Amino acid sequence: MNNIEAIEKIGNEAQKRNDVEFKENKKNINFSLRGVNKYYHAYQCAEFTKNVKIFGFGHITKAMIEKDGICFNTYSINNGYNQYCRDMKRFNSKDELLGFVVGYNQAIEDGMIYELDANK
């Protein structure tokens, strides 16, 4: 096997892993993700889900999230499996929702880093 074939094989294996992860991450997303950022946004939604399971979300408790889960819809994030379940937060567009999710995750990450630095 020459170098080009080896590189292609590595690239194909990485793409397969990315596709498997993407499929898992988008399980509770009820709108299509397309384009170059689809993997990133699916990952961010999965991280958001993980974070709210740890911290809760305003009036939605950790127990409610564990029991009913959450889903992402074009204009809302809901506690439950569809857009008609209990609203966690509403948005004007899918892009606004995704921006919020990314910002929320970043705020959690920054807070954790701040706490780690403070405990040194």
Query: What domain range includes position 89?
Result: 3-118
Dump pLDDT digits (tens) for 63-114.
999 999 999 999 999 999 999 899 999 999 999 999 999 999 999 999 875 5
Predicted confidence at residue 7, as pLDDT, reads 87
Quick check: 118 pLDDT over 70? no
Please check the confidence at residue 120 and state whether its pLDDT lies above 70: no
Residue 6 reports pLDDT greater than 90: no
Poorest-confidence range of 5-14, 29-38, 43-52, 98-107? 5-14
Give the span between the Cα atoms of 97 and 77, in whole angstroms: 8
Q: Assess whether pLDDT exceeds 90 at residue 115.
A: no
Domain count within the chain: 1
